[in-house]
Amino acid sequence: MATKYIFVTGGVTSSLGKGIISASLGKLLQARGYRVTNQKLDPYINVDPGTLNPYEHGECYVTVDGHEADLDLGHYERFLNVPSTKANNVTSGRIYQNVINRERRGDFLGKTVQVIPHITDEIKRNIKMLGNTGDFDFVITEIGGTVGDIESLPYIESVRQMRWELGKDCLCIHLTYVPFVAAAGELKTKPTQHSVKELQQEGVQPDVLVLRAEHPITPEVRKKVALFCNVDSEAVIESADVKTIYEVPIRMQQEGLDRVVLKRLGINPDDTVADMKQWNFFLDKLHNATEEVKIALVGKYVRLPDAYKSIIESLIHASAYNDRKLKLDLILSEEINDNNVSDILSGYQGILIAPGFGERGVDGKIIAARFARENNVPCLGICFGMQVMAIEFARDVLGYADAHTAEINPQTPHKIIDMMEDQKVVLDKGGSMRLGAFACRLLKNSKAAELYGKELIYERHRHRFEFNNQYKEEFEKNGMIVSGFNPETNLGEIIELKNHPWYIGVQFHPEYSSTVLNPHPLFLEFVKVATQHK
């Protein structure tokens, strides 16, 4: 079967959940046995989101091949259980950079380089690149932003051209919002009509409309939208608010989104059945858990939970599989000090110390780590969180009061966390990080080896600084062992404290690889021991 291209655009407003709808459709098609990949096109000018503050677009996700990507790729992976790559997320910055590089090389043979056709050709090349691998029956491409934005114009134009070129092998889904005006007691379709008109003006007629609504869509509303927007009634899909994003694929299945999509693409939906057994098994666990597990996430971007999206989702997976309902509090590390730490953190069954960059809030994280260590509270430190655990241990147990990371105190004689020699020459920000999946060998008989159930693992990284091996021996003599290390460079990747119920810090980011069908063992075990902590 020729690869089918499905585009998902959004109208009226942002934050309607395009990423979740795209991932849900991907899941349903995959559950029917098709090979699916989800792609995100971001119309902003940054070459990738690596340099963005998490408060801008939420967390920066990292692919196995070391690409810093939009957080929607996290949804795709969590839903589809298939790792994505650099090709799954493309920004305008990268598109323009590629075109400009070629222009400088003289590839355009003296021609004027323009948005159409050069930018649009580059966009199309990046979309088709996934299909051309031959690995996928469906490429689902989500266009970031909202239709009508100036910056998304070249993308919509590319969609128009691809529909023209591919005909029946291409389909467009438009996600809009149907507000309920309380004073009139009515659902209003006008914003949807306008946004479809906008899309039509740009040359694209949507085949399927997904209506996000806080009130049930009545048959009349459905009919009206169908009539005004040139789509069949059956292609008007309701996306109601649900308790968890993991319900969305099931709702979309009930609404018949996958069936409509297949039909429009000339495939008989009765030829396959979406097998959602395993998904529903997870969903049942998620819904049926009543007993709580109380976890504190100590970080500095707590005002926007999206900044910790993958960590939160990983905890949700792990709690459900442990038959617990997650009670998670996000705690601002800046607010923690020696006097209030016990008031703030007592009562939690587990403490997670978040990744991060820079000085703000680091003292609070160190105090939180100490609290967990001294009070036997299960504690998981991720990346900066692991580094903080090491600093705290060096200060309090080894007696180096000035222990720190070179990132924050480059003058200290006790750089427990430091930059490795070969990294120091790379000055370009964004280029100097250890990014993507690296091997890690686990120490026999360690907690890490036990919970992973194997000796060699691959985990994703995103950091500049490393555990300083000069201190390894002293750490180990005093009860903090390096239980995971990179087999090539010997860099310490996991530290764990003996004589503590569960105190583990990891230099990598396990949260990027926890999925619904494959919850991450570190989170599973962390939550499990947390449930045993009274």
Paired residues of 462 in beta bridges: 435
Is 77 one of the binding residues for ligand GLN (CB under 6 A)?
no
The residue behind tokens 């060998």 is 441
Smallest gap from residue 466 Cβ to ligand GLN (A): 7
Smallest gap from residue 51 Cβ to ligand GLN (A): 13
Residue from 357, 375, 423, 479 touching ligand GLN (CB under 6 A): that is 357
Residue from 131, 355, 510, 519 touching ligand GLN (CB under 6 A): that is 355
Contact segment (CB under 6 A) with ligand GLN among 144-152, 258-266, 296-304, 351-359 equals: 351-359
Q: Quick check: is 509 catalytic? A: yes
Measured from the CB atom, the residue of 23 and 302 that comes closer to ligand GLN is 302
Contact segment (CB under 6 A) with ligand GLN among 138-146, 192-200, 336-344, 352-360 equals: 352-360
Q: Quick check: is 118 catalytic? A: no
Of 479, 495, 297, nearest to 390 by C-alpha is 495
Identify the three-state secondary structure at position 7.
strand
Measured from the CB atom, the residue of 60 and 225 that comes closer to ligand GLN is 60
User: Rounded to whole angstroms, how far apart are CA atoms 241 and 247?
Assistant: 10
User: Rounded to whole angstroms, how far apart are CA atoms 266 and 253?
Assistant: 18
Contact segment (CB under 6 A) with ligand GLN among 3-11, 107-115, 456-464, 490-498 equals: 456-464
Measured from the CB atom, the residue of 153 and 391 that comes closer to ligand GLN is 391
> Within 10 A of 130 (CB to CB), how many other CB atoms are there?
22
Q: Which one of the listed residues 67, 317, 509, 520 is annotated catalytic? A: 509
- Contact criterion met (CB below 8 Å) for 382 and 355: yes
Identify the three-state secondary structure at position 1.
coil
The residue behind tokens 């989500």 is 142
Residue from 94, 460, 462, 520 touching ligand GLN (CB under 6 A): that is 462
The phi and psi torsions of 431 (rounded to 5 degrees) equal -100, -10
Residue from 464, 474, 517, 524 touching ligand GLN (CB under 6 A): that is 464
Smallest gap from residue 395 Cβ to ligand GLN (A): 18
Dihedral of CA atoms 106, 161, 159, 191 in degrees, nearest 10, equals 130
Is 465 one of the binding residues for ligand GLN (CB under 6 A)?
yes
User: Rounded to whole angstroms, how far apart are CA atoms 466 and 335?
Assistant: 27
Q: Which residues contact 410 (CB under 8 A, 6 or more apart)?
A: none
Contact segment (CB under 6 A) with ligand GLN among 310-318, 353-361, 452-460, 483-491 equals: 353-361
Element (H, E) at 61: strand 61-62
Do the bridges between strand 379-382 and strand 350-353 make them parallel or antiparallel, or are there none, so unpaired?
Answer: parallel
Q: Which one of the listed residues 68, 77, 313, 511 is annotated catalytic? A: 511
User: Rounded to whole angstroms, how far apart are CA atoms 276 and 26?
Assistant: 12
Smallest gap from residue 422 Cβ to ligand GLN (A): 15
**CB-count exposure of residue 533 (10 Å: 0-12, 13-18, 19+):** middle
Smallest gap from residue 325 Cβ to ligand GLN (A): 28
Smallest gap from residue 467 Cβ to ligand GLN (A): 10
Contact segment (CB under 6 A) with ligand GLN among 126-134, 264-272, 350-358, 487-495 equals: 350-358
Dihedral of CA atoms 503, 506, 511, 513 in degrees, nearest 10, equals -120
**What tokens does 383 get?**
């990346």
Residues in 95-114 at the binding interface with ligand GLN, rule: CB under 6 A: none
**What tokens does 193 get?**
């009509």
Smallest gap from residue 509 Cβ to ligand GLN (A): 7
Phi-psi category of residue 200: left, alpha or beta, with phi > 0 → left and psi -120 to 50 → alpha: alpha
Q: Quick check: is 383 catalytic? A: yes
Is 506 one of the binding residues for ligand GLN (CB under 6 A)?
no
Residue from 10, 17, 249, 356 touching ligand GLN (CB under 6 A): that is 356
The phi and psi torsions of 525 (rounded to 5 degrees) equal -75, -40
Is 407 one of the binding residues for ligand GLN (CB under 6 A)?
yes
Measured from the CB atom, the residue of 92 and 405 that comes closer to ligand GLN is 405
Measured from the CB atom, the residue of 142 and 313 that comes closer to ligand GLN is 313
> Within 10 A of 254 (CB to CB), how many other CB atoms are there?
10
Site pattern 252..291 for ligand GLN (x: CB under 6 A):
----------------------------------------
Measured from the CB atom, the residue of 137 and 511 that comes closer to ligand GLN is 511
Residue from 384, 471, 502, 512 touching ligand GLN (CB under 6 A): that is 384
Measured from the CB atom, the residue of 228 and 357 that comes closer to ligand GLN is 357
Q: How far is CA 299 from CA 221, 287, 358, 363, in A?
A: 44, 28, 12, 11
Measured from the CB atom, the residue of 295 and 383 that comes closer to ligand GLN is 383
Tell me, by CB under 6 A, how many residues bind ligand GLN: 10
DSSP per-residue string spanning 159-198: HHHHHHHHGGGEEEEEEEEE-EETTTTEE--HHHHHHHHH
Helix, strand, coil shares, percent, the chain, to 5: 45, 20, 35
For residue 2, what is the DSSP state?
Answer: P
Smallest gap from residue 419 Cβ to ligand GLN (A): 8
Is 492 one of the binding residues for ligand GLN (CB under 6 A)?
no
Is 383 one of the binding residues for ligand GLN (CB under 6 A)?
yes
Smallest gap from residue 420 Cβ to ligand GLN (A): 11
Q: Which one of the listed residues 172, 229, 379, 383 is annotated catalytic? A: 383
Q: Which residues contact 340 (CB under 8 A, 6 or more apart)?
A: none
Smallest gap from residue 7 Cβ to ligand GLN (A): 33
User: Rounded to whole angstroms, how far apart are CA atoms 88 and 301?
Assistant: 26
Which residue ranges make up the site for ligand GLN (CB under 6 A)? 355-357, 383-384, 407, 462-465
Which positions are annotated as active-site residues? 383, 509, 511
